Amino acid sequence: MELQSIKNRFGIIGNAPALNHALNVAVQVANTDLSVLINGESGVGKEVFSQIIHALSGRKHNPFIAVNCGAIPEGTIDSELFGHEKGSFTGALDSRKGYFETVNGGTIFLDEIGEMPLGTQARLLRVLESGEFIRVGSSKVQKTDVRVIAATNKELLEFTQNGKFREDLYYRLNTVPIRVPALRDRKDDIIYLFRKFVVDFAERYKTTPVQLDEDAKNSLISYSWPGNVRELKNIAEQLSVLSQEKLINGHEFSKFLPDQTKSRLPVLAAGHGNAWSNNAEFSSERDILYKLFFDMKKDVTELKKMFVEILQNPSIAPSAAQYANESLMRDYPSVNELQNPMKQPAIIPSIPQQNNGQPVLLAHDDIHHHEEVEESLNIMDKEKELIIKALKKHRGKRKDASLDLGISERTLYRKLKEYDIEE
């Protein structure tokens, strides 16, 4: 079948080389039973490729089902995929067939496969290798003949290195990889996609299709489109419904684009000649915390050395204290500003002194004990500590705690299990 006829059949617009290559691979692998792993950012249309593979395969007259692994709670995903027996868990009032049983002979598309729990991954691997599965609460082995197509917007190979995804399952799914290009890598296709969308929405809402002038077209092409085709379609619909003019200029078009200049990360003060100013960009909030803990550990070590020197030579105490105070103010201005807008100076603990003004010398054992105290800088420990604090703050309400932490409630639930945190 010609590539253009496939595009027409499935509503695919564009002629980018990367897109054509992905389509060619999908066509070539369709009439086999090989597992396929579709990679691509959110919104690029990965499900369409799974439909193409199924429609051109020998299973095209059998069932096809798309399952979003990230949308099914961890406690019920095994039941959804493999079924369960009556009374196998609370609420299991009747026996139920899972997708691998009902779609026997057809195709299952597992979207967001990276969100699948490790236990379910082991069950899926058995299905792929032997075609066998067991319902939840049963001991009877059943057979199924299902083709699996998986998709992800994550780098699963990195997940395998972090223990979040089974390496054997990754290589079993990745028999034939297909990478769907992002919209920003298909700049020549953006205008044609936008035109198709606005015409469709004009027919739906009984209006005249909007058009773009040259400035608006330049903005359309130069925008990065992090939401890919899905975001482009949303913008086209907004313009079709909300725009007062049918010829959109660049200024009017920019009002419908989100402001990409804003960052969700804290702004760190620059220009102070310290370590922070040399690291203006961090990939995540975790990197910022790790950098902060690392610098704090380094400075605490310096303070320990200075304290020992003061004990050995009491005459340098005043100048050393002044130097330490200035050093802290220089190295952590942004942290002070975030915590205290009044920029109160850092306070150095005073050294115990006798009546004559001389520092009190501590016993050697006390010094040795002081030097051995090390604060844990393990990121997992800090993450666990933050989760516990958030739960205490919101009195055990997982939904509010997950919003405060900036993660999904499902991810929080998984972290509670992973760190064995009691609510």
- What pLDDT digit, counting tens, does each position of 24-53 carry? 999 999 999 999 999 999 999 999 999 999
Domain contains 154: yes
Number of domains in the chain: 4
Same domain, 320 and 239: no
The confidence band for 264, taking pLDDT boundaries of 50, 70 and 90, is very low
Which position has the higher pLDDT, 326 or 115?
Answer: 115
Residue 377: the pLDDT is 57
Mean pLDDT of all residues in 99-103: 95
- What pLDDT digit, counting tens, does each position of 132-155 carry? 999 999 999 999 999 999 999 999
Mean pLDDT of all residues in 201-226: 94
Domain contains 263: no
How many Å apart are CA 12 and CA 14, to the nearest integer?
7
Which position has the higher pLDDT, 291 or 98?
Answer: 98
Which position has the higher pLDDT, 8 or 386?
Answer: 8
Residue type, 392: K
The domain containing residue 415 runs over which residues? 379-419
Which position has the higher pLDDT, 304 or 334?
Answer: 304
Residue type, 211: Q
Spatial CA neighbour of 116 closest among 160, 73, 64, 161: 73
Same domain, 56 and 177: yes
Domain contains 68: yes
pLDDT value at 410 more than 70 = yes
pLDDT value at 263 more than 60 = no
- CB–CB of 126/165 below 8 Å? no
Spatial CA neighbour of 194 closest among 183, 205, 185, 204: 183
Which position has the higher pLDDT, 363 or 164?
Answer: 164
- Residue found by looking up tokens 């932490």 in the block: 405
Percent above pLDDT 90 for the chain: 55
Domain contains 259: no
Same domain, 15 and 65: yes
The confidence band for 272, taking pLDDT boundaries of 50, 70 and 90, is very low
- CB–CB of 45/229 below 8 Å? yes
Sign of the C-alpha dihedral computed for residues 399, 402, 404 and 406 taken in this order:
negative
**CATH number of the domain to which 41 belongs:** 3.40.50.300
Same domain, 147 and 227: no
Same domain, 191 and 174: no
Same domain, 233 and 160: no
Same domain, 363 and 391: no
Same domain, 386 and 358: no
- What pLDDT digit, counting tens, does each position of 223-260 carry? 999 999 999 999 999 999 998 888 999 999 999 998 75
- What pLDDT digit, counting tens, does each position of 158-175 carry? 999 999 999 999 999 999
How many Å apart are CA 329 and CA 348, to the nearest integer?
11
